[in-house]
Structure 1
Amino acid sequence: MTNVFDPVCRHAAATPDSVALRGAGDQWTYRQLYDGSMRYAGALAAAGLSPGDRVLLAAPSVPEFVVAYLGIQAAGCVVVPVNTMATRAEIAYVLGDAGCSLAVAWHALGPAVAEAAAPLGVPFWSLYPGASVCEAGPGDVIDRDRDETAAILYTSGTTGRPKGARLTVGNLLSAGEIGASCSRATSTDRTGTGLPLFHVFGQAAVMMATLTVGGSMSLLARFDPAAMLEMLRRDRLTIMAGVPTMWNAMLHAAGDASPADFAGLRVAVSGGASLPGEIARAFEARFGCTILEGYGLTETTAFGTFNDLDRGGKTGYTGRAVPGLRVQVRDADGNECPPGTVGEVHIKGPTVMRGYWNRPADTAAALSSDGWLRTGDLGETDADGDLRIVDRIKDLIIRGGYNVYPGEVEEVLYEHPDIVEAAVIGVPDEHYGEEVAALVTVRAGSALGAAEVSSWARERLSAYKIPRIVRFVDALPKGPSGKILKRSIDRTGLTRDAPPADAAAGRP
């Protein structure tokens, strides 16, 4: 038998009383998780769903998300997780594109899912605390092939309509095994996260890795830095996972937190976006805790590279290929680049998706015939073989013929003591083609001005990389995982206030 539910079946039989999940005020043992998921699978079968049917799932990071997710898997259906903040129109698109047979939503989310499902004739279920379902008996665990689609995760859709990445049974099981191997997790580990489980990072790298080894997983329904630090203390976490904005938020909301609170934390994992070196250094100085950065995509079931536990974190680098995967940086002609040369990152291995749902052309553009995935990310390796992500290809700024990598500029801005968050983007410019713009949030009470930001950058960067447009904002737009969404930034008014004086002086 092969099913994404297999790890829970094993641990429910071997260690039924071990804690699997901890929520805000409850916990579930592996036996309770098994029983709840089997009842959910039985309810799906009683409702007429068959293996392969798609089920939309909208829920925050609560234990009931895991119960429903695994019940869908046990029944042989395909789970389609969506952002809890998705609008009615966005949900309707996913329901139609995936051809869902059922929509399930957490009871407190509001009417968007039900309202989207009704005109499409898609049945709707509410997910309540305890994940109670109809009186149907427990279902059967469906035997599946490893290459069958188990989940469809929709990409952000920043360049057109969202595409559904088809993750297979084998992808998810492999992700769990790789995640456990990278962190050397065991059944005694207590993992905690504020990541959304509907996102691939929380779902594959955290949830599947924890369930694979039979450890426990503590969940925050909504990330809050103070609540995350309290969960660290309360549940005596040994593994914690988050995106850079989460580590940054904890750093600035530390209160009375001390290195003693982090003494039992074996592994701190950052992913989802590049971790600014200044945040990593400040976190280690404040708490004595080294954050290890990894790299992966939805299309690779969250995995690609990871910093080795023995070698520790290398600031600015995401480590080497994880076990079982191959990672190459290639030039425009498809040749592997030597160390120190920027090219596009390619990944091959057991976590690479099967393809995009009903998108053969997009699949062919992303996946080669021999299984290599084009990531769309620019990176380079160093002499040790460690990967550094430079930027998304589509985020590259070309100013007057010079390539400007936003991540490099952001790294410098984060070093300023008054800057809390920064996003660097390119905006159209009549003279240079594109101009470098920086949007920043600052510490409360800061009197930092735009001229000082540009001056700070000028002392540390080449002239063509300096932000000539600086705007101060209260907050930057973020996705469900906390990743800063540059393409959601309103570019209205992001122009230079005067003609570029640099041009008159003949400088780039």
Structure 2
Amino acid sequence: MTASFWNDKYPEGIPSEINPDEYRNILAVLKQSCERFSQRPAFSNLGRTLSYGELYQLSGDFAAWLQHHTDLQPGDRIAVQLPNLLQYPVVVFGAMRAGLIVVNTNPLYTTRELDHQLRDSGARAMVCLANMAHRVEEVLPVSEVRHLIITEVGDMLPNIKRQLVNAVVRHVKKMVPAYHLPTAIRFRQTLAQGQQESLREANPGPEETAVLQYTGGTTGVAKGTMLTHRNIVANMLQCRPLMAHRLEEGREVMVAPLPLYHIYAFTLHCMVMMLIGAHNLLITNPRDFATFIKDLGRYRFTGFVGLNTLFVGLCNDERFRRLDFSPLKATFSGGMALTQAAAERWREVTGCTISEGYGMTETSPVVSVNPFQQIRLGTIGIPLPSTGCKVIDDEGNELPPGSTGELCVRGPQVMKGYWQRPEATAEVLDAEGWLKTGDIAVIEADGYLRIVDRKKDMIVISGFKVYPNELEEVLATLPGVLQGAAIGVPDSTNGEKIKLFVVCKPGATLTEEDVIKHMHDNLTGYKRPRIIEFRDSLPTTNVGKILRRELRDEELQKRKTGEPAT
């Protein structure tokens, strides 16, 4: 659909277009925000808060160190392997101010995954947490990394607290395996040395790559997505007007439990919230609900950025339900499909309606969002300003509103391409700038988008298409269900049959018959699962998205080894 299709569908106050060239690069936005909100808090973690002014000073110190104490040149890549700590924004913005390309790196990577990313990106520098340094030690000799900076959890805290926190992490919790990296530099040393140096501010062009963001690898070998300064600036400017109805500049306190190295949290917290001068509460380990909820109790938070599994887990925790939610006025969901049950439960507990959006690494990442003026649960909202969307059939023909097809996106936030993979880029990005998302969607007549499922996750039974999202949505309404996943497994009669994996809430006593009856009562015949398997947990990505591919691979392996697939 052309942009004009949505012109009369945007709520009042939301433009259909933005100017993606309003700022030359991310650094221009950073400078403006850090000057404008210099006294306002930017990031808080482990009891310390950095103001925007302090963030600019510290990131400048790190940038100056990179320029004066290494041989790194603008355009070189620096891998950043950090959880949600104050070090993260200091390092990322410092690297950009020195002209480097940031390579966000998951701290949970195995040695094999880390080796692939370092080799593929050609990173010449790396910042990592001491907790992961033993893995870095294994891959460092075969990588191009020549400058390694190591930090510890408490390094941004005041002196006494820093020593205490680092000692507990290292000696009491024993979370730092032994490593031997004699050439590594301590992060605190880089700041101290950089403070003594002068900084030559980088000024990259709009089309220069700012971030190499690797896809999760759930659909093959992880690829580096080249996101330019213009891509990310555009996405900031596209998101801002859709939030302006509910969020005030320089006044919001946003909870950041999702990892900043993931594109969803990276853009929302480090970029969009920086643009509007918000205060971001960094949660280092959101799986530790006790500490997480205790941290929330210390702040009057006004915004929350999460995803379905996190919403479900928190609402099931009595400690969370006792918090004061009166200041909360905005909740954002992305990263995976939001179920109706989770959205309704969140609204019941917090009093706040979730605004679900949609995006992907290749789109910096936001494509669409539910505007606060007109939130419609069950949809991913309307496209951002300056964003075109269409759905196509298997032959590439554009389909009319109401049809089901593959979603394609065009706009200034669409990636430059995949790093050193022109063939892979050509497979998804055409000459007119349309990106094939791999998601099956419907564009409603009133302009709202609805994702049906991933194209590769679709199940085909006797020629009928079945989408796992629909089955999982129905399963989520069964009392006692915590999580669920549906996949197709080979069937000699119908091509495929449906297998449903179920994780029960603590104390629930569901049976296979309970699940089958519930699905039978709510779904037509060919959509009903034939196999039910109860599990204690399901494989997930670092942000909690269930990995159906791993479940399918397990079933395939069982068939190869002759184990019963049921």
Fold equivalence (TM over 0.5): yes
TM-score by length of 2: 0.84
How far has the Cα of 1:207 moved from its partner? 2.0
2:39 is aligned to 17
Q: Report the 3-state secondary structure (helix = DSSP H, G, I; strand = E; otherwise coil) of the residue aligned with 2:199.
A: coil
Indicate how the Cα distance of structure 1 residues 227 and 320 shifts in structure 2: closer, same or farther if over 3 A, else same.
Answer: farther
- Checking the alignment, whether the CA contact within 8 Å between 2:315 and 2:321 is kept in structure 1 is no
Aligned to 1:179: 239
Partner amino acid, structure 1, of 2:228: T
Q: Which moved more, 1:330-339 or 1:422-431?
A: 330-339
Aligned to 2:281: 218
Letter in 2 for 1:346: C
Q: Is contact 1:344-1:374 (8 Å) kept?
A: yes
* Cα 1:460/1:192, change in 2 over 3 Å: same
The residue aligned with 1:37 is: 59
Q: CA deviation at 1:316?
A: 1.1
Residue 325 (structure 1) shift: 1.3
Once the two structures are overlaid, the 10-residue window that deviates more, 416-425 or 325-334, is: 325-334
TM-score, structure 1 normalization: 0.93
Cα deviation, 1:185-239, whole Å, max 9, x if unaligned, reads 4111111110100000000123211111122111101213454444444221111
Shift of 1:21: 0.6
Distance change in 2, residues 1:426/1:103 (3 Å): same
Matches within 5 A, 1:402-481: 402-481=464-543
3-state secondary structure, aligned to 2:251: coil
In the TM superposition, residue 446 of structure 1 has moved relative to its aligned partner by 1.9
Report the Cα distance in structure 2 between the residues aligned to 1:268 and 1:499, rounded to whole angstroms.
Answer: 40
Q: Describe the SS at the equivalent of 1:391.
A: strand
Per the alignment, residue 60 of structure 1 pairs with 83
SS of the equivalent of 1:261 reads coil
Match of 1:504 in 2: none
Q: What is the CA-CA distance between 1:376 and the residue it aligns to?
A: 0.4
Letter in 2 for 1:45: Q
Q: Does 1:152 pair with 2:212?
A: yes
For 1:156-197, what per-residue CA distance to the aligned partner results, in whole angstroms no more than 9, with x for missing partners?
Answer: 222321111100011122222223322224111111110100
Distance, in Å, in 1 between the alignment partners of 2:501 and 2:476 is 12
Q: Given the alignment, which residue of 98, 109, 132 partners 2:188?
A: 132
Structure 1 residues 115 and 155: CA distance shift in structure 2, 3 A:
same
Once the two structures are superposed, what CA deviation does each residue of 1:227-275 show, in whole Å capped at 9, x if it has no partner?
Answer: 44444442211111011111111111143625x7222112100000110
Matched residue SS, 1:333: coil
The residue that corresponds to 1:27 in the other structure is 49
1:165-314 pair list within 5 angstroms: 165-184=225-244, 185=247, 186-224=249-287, 225-255=289-319, 257-258=321-322, 261-312=324-375, 314=376
2-side partners of 1:167 and 1:357: how far apart?
A: 10
C-alpha distance in 2 between matches for 1:471 and 1:386: 35
Q: CA deviation at 1:63?
A: 1.3
- 1:336 maps to which residue? 398
Which residue number corresponds to residue 160 of structure 2? Answer: none
Counterpart contact for 2:558–2:564, Cα < 8 Å = no
Question: What percent of counterpart residues are identical?
Answer: 32
Change in CA separation of 1:381 and 1:77 when aligned onto 2, cut-off 3 Å: same
CA contact (8 A) 1:397 1:434 kept: yes
Q: Deviations over 1:374-406 (max 9, x none)?
A: 100001022321111100000000112211100
Q: Give the equivalent residue in structure 1 for 2:74.
A: 51
**Pairwise CA distance, 1:340:** 2.4
Aligned residue type for 1:132: R
Aligned-partner Cα distance in 1 for 2:37–2:565: 70
In structure 1, distance between residues paired with 2:428 and 2:452: 20
Residue 415 of structure 2 is matched in structure 1 by 353
Pairing 1:97–2:130 present: no
Counterpart amino acid of 1:471? E
- Aligned partners of 1:278, 1:39: CA distance in 2, in Å? 47
Query: Relative contact order: is structure 1 or structure 2 higher (C-alpha 8 Å, sep ≥ 6)?
Result: 2
CA distance in 1, matches of 2:75, 2:563: 56
Q: Residue type of the partner of 1:275?
A: L
Q: Does residue 77 of the first structure (1) align with residue 100 of the second (2)?
A: yes
CA distance in 1, matches of 2:563, 2:127: 50
Is the partner of 2:366 in helix, strand or coil?
coil
Cα distance, 1:115 vs. partner? 2.3
The 2-side partners of 1:235 and 1:163 are apart by 38
| 1:453 CA displacement | 0.7
Separation in 2, partners of 1:354, 1:402: 37
More divergent stretch after superposition (21-30 vs 330-339): 330-339
Once residues 469 and 277 of structure 2 are traced to their aligned partners in structure 1, the CA distance between those partners, rounded to angstroms, is 37
Q: Is the Cα–Cα contact under 8 Å of residues 4 and 172 in structure 1 kept in the other structure?
A: yes
- Does the 8 A contact of 1:38 with 1:140 survive in 2? no
Q: Which residue of 2 aligns with 1:505?
A: none
Structure 1 stretch 425-434 or stretch 386-395: which is displaced more? Answer: 425-434
Cα 1:450/1:99, change in 2 over 3 Å:
same
Describe the shift of the 1:256–1:76 C-alpha distance in structure 2 as closer, same or farther (beyond 3 A): closer
Amino acid at match of 1:125: I
Q: Deviations over 1:436-476 (max 9, x none)?
A: 11111112222211122111101110111111111111111
| Native 8 Å contact 1:179 1:206 kept in 2 | no
Partner residue, 1:503: none
Q: What is the DSSP-based 3-state SS (H/G/I as helix, E as strand, rest coil) of the residue aligned with 2:226?
A: strand
AA at the equivalent of 2:310? M
What is the deviation of 1:14? 3.0
Secondary structure (helix, strand or coil) at the match of 2:324 reads helix
1:202 aligned counterpart, secondary structure: helix
Backbone CA RMSD of aligned residues: 2.1
What letter is aligned with 1:109? M
Letter matched to residue 38 of structure 1: G
| SS, match of residue 188 in structure 2 | coil
Distance (Å, rounded) in 2 between the aligned partners of 1:9 and 1:212: 10
SS of 1:95's equivalent in the other structure is helix
